[in-house]
A and B are shown apart, each in its own frame.
Chain A
Amino acid sequence: MKYQIVIAGFGGQGVVFLVKVLAICAGNRNVPFLGTENHGMSQRGGSVSCDIKIGGFTNPVIDKNQADLMIALEKNEGLRNLGFLKLSGTLVTNAKDKDEYPELPFEGFAKIDAFKKAENGEFPIQGLNVYMLGFALINDANFPFSIQEVRDAITQMNAKVAAQNIVILDQAMKDAKELK
C-alpha cells in the first residue's frame, strides 16, 4: 500500500496530533511510513501543513500533484494546499456553509461546516481535528485504515482524553453518513 495524506490547518488546530494518530495506525499494522510536522514559529497561529506518507517511501515531504487525500481543517488552508492533491485524490474540508466554495476537479470531495457544529455545541472546538478525521474516514473510500484502527490509535495517543475524542470521531462519522 502507498498512500499520501496532507493535513492542512493553522497553528493551534491540532494538525500535528492527526499526523501522530495516523503514524500510530501505520505502526500498529507494521506498515512503514514517513511523516513530517511543523514546530516552532509556524505554530503561532500561522498556516500549518503536515504530511504523512504511508508505505515504502524514502522522504517525508509530499510533492505537488501527489497526495491521495487532503484533510483541511479550515477552508482557506485547504485551498492554499490544493496543488499537492492529485486529481484522482480526495479533498475533505471544513468550510462555512455561507462561504462560496469553488468548483474543483478532484475525484473525491466532501465539505462540512464544522465550525458551526462546534458553535452549536455539538462537539468541543478542541476536537475539530478529530472531527475532521472522522469525516474523512467516511468520505474517502480508499482511507488506508479501518475505524477500529483509528480508534485504537486515538486511545494510544492519550488515554485520558480518548473517550471524549472517540465520541467526537463517532459523531463526525454519523454526520458524514447523514450528509451522503
Chain B
Amino acid sequence: MKQTLMGNDAIAWGLVHANVDMVSGYPGTPSSEILSVVQSIKHKLNLDIYAEWGTNEKVGFEVAYAGAIAGKRTCATMKQVGLNVASDSLMSASYIGNLGGMLLIAADDPGFHSSQTEQDSRVFAKFARIPVLDPATPQDAYDLTKYGVELSEKFQIPVMLRPVMRVCHAREIIEMDEETNFAPNKGEFKRDVPRWGAVPRTGRFEQGVQQLNRIEVIKEYNWDHLLKPEFDRCEGKKVLIIAGGTGHGFTKETLSDLGLDADVVKVLMPYPLPVEQMRDRFKSYDKVLVVEEPYPCIEEQIASPNVYGKNTNTTHQIDEMSKEAILKAFQNIGFYAGENIYATPPSLDFEVEARPPALCPGCPHRDVYYAITKVFKKKKAIYPSDNGCYTLALAQGAIDSILCMGASVSMASGFSISDPEKTTVATIGDGTFFHSGIPPLLNAIYQNHKFILVILDNSTIAMTGRQTTPSRSNKNIDIKKIVEGMGVDCMEHQYSYEMQDNIDFFREVKKVHADATGPTVVVVREFCILDRERAPDFIPNIFVKVDADLCVACDQCTTIYKCPPMAYNDDGVIEIDPFLCAGCGGCLDVVCPTDAFVQDFDYLKRGN
C-alpha cells in the first residue's frame, strides 16, 4: 500500500507492522512524533498496545527492555542526547540481551538544529557492541524498523535504529504492508537468574565473551545479507564510495549533478562491519571515499591507506551533510576538477537580521523571568537554567548557563558553593524537573546548599510538541508535595498577568531565602499559550496597543521584556503587531517605564 508519510510516521507504522506492542521513551526533537503516532494508530485501529512516555529516557528504555526480556516485541524511542541518559541501562542490556525483539531508536541531529551536541549514536552502538541500522530515507526507516525488530529477536540483543533529522522529518511516498495483521508476542517472564541477574565477575564475564562472539556472528550476517550484494553490484570503477544513511542519497545526487560515475556501496548496518571482507574489495580501487554523518563511524572501522573521509580531512567534520560538501570531497581526492555548481553569486548575500526562536507572545515564562531579574539583580545573581522552551529566556538575559537535562539544580549547588557572595537562582520546567531534577534537589537538601530553585510548571513538555507530564496525567502527582516530601517547604505562586503580583512574590522569596540554610524551592503555576486545553482558562484577552505620545523609545521592552509583537515603526515609536499579540496583558504593568502600553478595547471588535 502506498502512503505519503513523514519518516517518524513510517517508523511508527513499521513498529506496528513488526508486532511491537510496548513502546516507551522520552520526547526529543527529532524523535518525538514516533511514539505519538503509535498512539494514534493504536486508537485508529483499536489495537492493544502500550505506548506511553516514561519520565526520562532511562526509565523508558528499562520499561521496554523488561518487556523484551519477558518475550514481547518492544521499542524505546529518544533523541541522541536522551541516549546519554539511558546509556547506563543500554551498556548492561547489551551484555544480557533479550528474548523478544527490542528496537532502540536514537534519532540524531547533525547540524545542531534542536540539540546541544552533534553526537553520533552509531558510535554509541559500537561502544555498547549492539548492531545499528542507518536509514537513508523514510522508506528505509519503515523497512529497517521491521528488519531491526526481527534482527533483535534473532540475535537476542537490542538493535539500534539511528535515523537523522533529515529522515525523521522527511516526507515521501512509502510502500508499506497492505494490511495490519497485528499479532504481538505473549509476554511471559521466564526465571533465568544466571542470565537476567548476572553479577560480576563470573556471570558478566561470561556474558562479555558471548557479546564478543555474537558481534562476530552479526558481522558475517551483515556481509552475507547486506554488504556483499552491494559490493557484488559494483562495476570496477576507479572510485568507490561507501555511503552511510543519508550520505547515500546525497552522494547519488551529487554524482548525477556532476555527471560523474563511481561505484557506490550503501551501508545499512554501519556497525558491526565485516572489515576484512570489505578491505579485500577495496584493493581494486584507487580511492575509497566514506560519506557519512556526523562522526567517522564507518571510516574508523575500515581505515586503510586508500580510504578517505573525515579523519583524512577529505570530507566535512562538523555540521549537516550537503551536496556541496561532497563536491568538495570529490575535489579533494582528485575525482572532480570542475566548478562548484552549488555556489551562489556573492551578490545574493544580503545582510538579513537574524530571527532566532523566541518565547511565544503570551508565554508566562517571559513574565516570570522578567520578575526574577527585577528582584534578583544581575550583578549579584547567577542564573543556571535547563532544557526546555524557557531556555529561550536567554534572550532576556535571565539565563547564565545551560548544560543538559536537570543540570540547573546540581549546577546551582556548585555555584552556591563556589561563589557564595551571589544569589543563585536556578530555573527548571516541570517536565525537566520530573525527568532529572529530583535527584539533584534531594542532594541539595541533603547537603544544605543555599540557592533558590524556581520550578516553572506549565503542565506540559512544551518544546517538543506538548506531550503530557506525569502530573498532567495523574493529579495525585504534585510538584509541591514531592518537594515537601524531600523535607523542605515549597512556596507556590499562581502566575499573574499583572506583573506586580509576580514581582511581589519573588520579593517574598528573597526574604525567605535570606534566612534559609538550604535551598529555597518555589513552584510557579503557569500554562502554555499553545495548550488548547488549558490556555483559554488563563488568557484574559487583554490586547494592547501603544500610546505613541508616551513612548520614549527607551528600548526597555525590546531588550528586557522581548515580546515578539513589539517593534519600532518608521516613526521610531514602538508598535504592537496586532497579528502576533496574544492578548495576555502581561506588558500593561511595570514593563514600560512611561506606561505607553495601553489596552486596545477595540481589538476584538475589529474582527481579530
Residues of chain A lying within 8 A (CB to CB) of residue B360:
44-45
A33 to B570, CA, bound (A): 43
Which residues of chain B have C-beta atoms less than 8 A from A27's C-beta?
A: 2, 4, 173
Contact, CB under 8 Å: B30 / A40: yes
Where chain A touches its partner, the secondary structure class is mixed
Which residues of B in the span 1-53 have a Cβ within 8 Å of any Cβ on A?
2, 4, 6, 29-30, 32-33
Is B394 an interface residue, CB under 8 A from the partner? no
Residues of chain B within 8 A (CB-CB) of A66 are 342
Contact B30–A60 (Cβ < 8 Å): no
A19 to chain B: closest residue by CB: B171
From 340 to 359 in chain B, residues with beta carbon under 8 angstroms from any chain A beta carbon are 341-345, 347-350, 352-359
A residues 57-72 touching B (CB-CB < 8 Å): 57-61, 63-66
Q: Which of B166, B323, B353 contacts A76 (CB 8 A)?
A: B353
B349 touches A83 (CB 8 A): yes
Q: Which residues of B contact A33 (CB under 8 A)?
A: 171-173
Cβ-closest chain A residue relative to B358? A45
Interface centre among A32, A33, A44, A52 (most CB of B within 10 A): A44
Find out whether the CB atom of B166 lies under 8 angstroms from the CB atom of A46. Answer: no
Give the contacts of A18-33 with B (CB-CB under 8 A): 19-20, 23-24, 26-27, 30, 32-33
Contacts of A171 in B (CB 8 A): none
B: contact size bracket? 35 or more
A41-B323 contact, Cβ under 8 Å, with A35-B171, A59-B250, A65-B341: no
- A75 CB to closest chain B CB (Å) equals 9
With beta carbons under 8 angstroms apart, the residue of A30, A38, A83, A105 that contacts B113 is: A38
Residues from chain B with a CB closer than 8 A to the CB of A34 are 137, 170-172
In the complex, the answer to whether A79 meets B173 with C-beta atoms within 8 Å is no
Bound: A43/B33 CA distance, A: 15
Instruction: State whether A60 touches B173 (Cβ < 8 A).
Output: no
Specify which chain B residues have a CB less than 8 angstroms from the CB of A57 in the assembled complex: 249, 253
Decide yes or no whether B246 CB sits under 8 A from chain A: yes
Residues of A within 8 A of B344 (CB): 64-65, 82-84
B494 within 8 A of A: no
A36-B166, A41-B114, A59-B249 as given contacts; A79 in contact with B352, CB under 8 Å: yes
Decide yes or no whether B127 CB sits under 8 A from chain A.
Answer: no
Q: Which residues of A contact B349 (CB under 8 A)?
A: 83
Whether A37 is near chain B, meaning CB under 8 Å from some CB there, is yes
Tell whether, in the assembled complex, residue B465 and residue A58 are in contact, meaning their CB atoms are under 8 Å apart. no
CA distance A23 to B350 in the complex (A): 30
Q: Give a binary string over A112-148; 1 marks a CB under 8 Å from any B CB, 0 the rest.
A: 0001001101000100000000000000000000000
Which residue from B4, B166, B341 sits with its C-beta under 8 Å from A60?
B166
Contacts A37-B171, A65-B344 given: A23-B464 contact, CB under 8 Å? no
- Whether B343 and A44, one on each chain, are in contact in the complex, defined by CB atoms closer than 8 angstroms, is no
Q: Tally inter-chain residue pairs, CB-CB below 8 A.
A: 147
Interface centre among B2, B4, B248, B324 (most CB of A within 10 A): B4
Complexed CA–CA distance, A11 and B356 (Å): 10
Contact of A63 with B358 in the complex, beta carbons under 8 Å: no
Contact of A80 with B by CB under 8 A: yes
Task: Provide the bound-state CA to CA distance between A63 and B578, in Å.
Answer: 36
Instruction: Annotate B534-569 by CB proximity to A: 1 below 8 A, 0 otherwise.
Output: 000000000000000000000000000000100000
Residue of A nearest to B344 (CB): A83
Residues of B within 8 Å of A83, CB to CB, are: 344, 348-349
The answer, yes or no, to whether B219 is at the interface (CB within 8 Å) is no
Q: How far is the CA of A10 from the CA of B348 in the complex (A)?
A: 20
A41 touches B170 (CB 8 A): no
Shortest CB distance B459–A (Å)? 18
Q: Which residue of A lies closest to B392 (CB)?
A: A44
Pick the contact of A65: B166, B252, B342, B358 (CB < 8 A). B342
Question: Does A39 count as interface, using CB distance less than 8 angstroms?
Answer: yes
With a cutoff of 8 Å between Cβ atoms, the chain A residues found around residue B607 in the complex are: 121
Smallest distance from the beta carbon of A18 to chain B beta carbons, Å? 12
**Nearest Cβ on chain B to A146's Cβ, whole angstroms:** 19
Instruction: Establish whether residues A44 and B358, one from each chain, have CB atoms under 8 Å apart when the complex forms.
Output: yes
Residues of B within 8 A of A119 (CB): 578
Q: How far is the CA of A138 from the CA of B348 in the complex (A)?
A: 25
B358 & A46 in contact (Cβ 8 Å cutoff): yes
Q: Chain A residues near B30 (CB, 8 Å)?
A: 39-40
Asked if A40 contacts B113 (CB within 8 A), the reply is yes
CB atoms of B166 and A42 under 8 A apart = no
Task: Report how far A57 CA is from B29 CA in the complex, Å.
Answer: 25
Contact B6 A37 (CB under 8 A): yes
**Cα of A57 to Cα of B172 in the assembled complex, Å:** 10
Measured between beta carbons, the chain B residues less than 8 angstroms from A102 are 350
The docked-state distance in angstroms from the alpha carbon of A82 to that of B250 is: 21
Q: Is the CB of A39 within 8 A of B29?
A: yes
Is residue A47 contacting chain B, with contact meaning CB distance below 8 A?
A: yes
Task: Tell yes or no: A98 within 8 A of B by CB.
Answer: yes
User: Measured between C-beta atoms, what is the minimum distance from A120 to chain B in Å?
Assistant: 11
Are A77 and B355 neighbours in the complex by a CB distance under 8 Å? yes
A122 CB to closest chain B CB (Å) equals 12
With A39-B465, A40-B113, A44-B389 known as contacts, the answer to whether A64 contacts B343 (CB < 8 A) is yes
A59 engages B350 (CB within 8 Å): no
| A contacts, CB < 8 Å to B | 10-11, 19-20, 23-24, 26-27, 30, 32-47, 52, 57-61, 63-66, 76-77, 79-80, 82-84, 87, 98, 102, 104-105, 115, 118-119, 121, 125
Taking A34-B170, A45-B357, A47-B354 as known contacts, 10 extra A-B pairs with beta carbons closer than 8 A to each other, sorted by chain A number, are: A11-B357, A40-B30, A40-B465, A44-B389, A64-B324, A76-B353, A83-B349, A87-B345, A104-B348, A121-B607
Q: Can you give 16 contacting A-B residue pairs, CB < 8 Å?
A: A20-B171, A30-B173, A35-B170, A36-B166, A37-B170, A40-B30, A41-B114, A43-B357, A46-B356, A60-B172, A64-B344, A83-B344, A83-B348, A87-B345, A105-B345, A118-B579
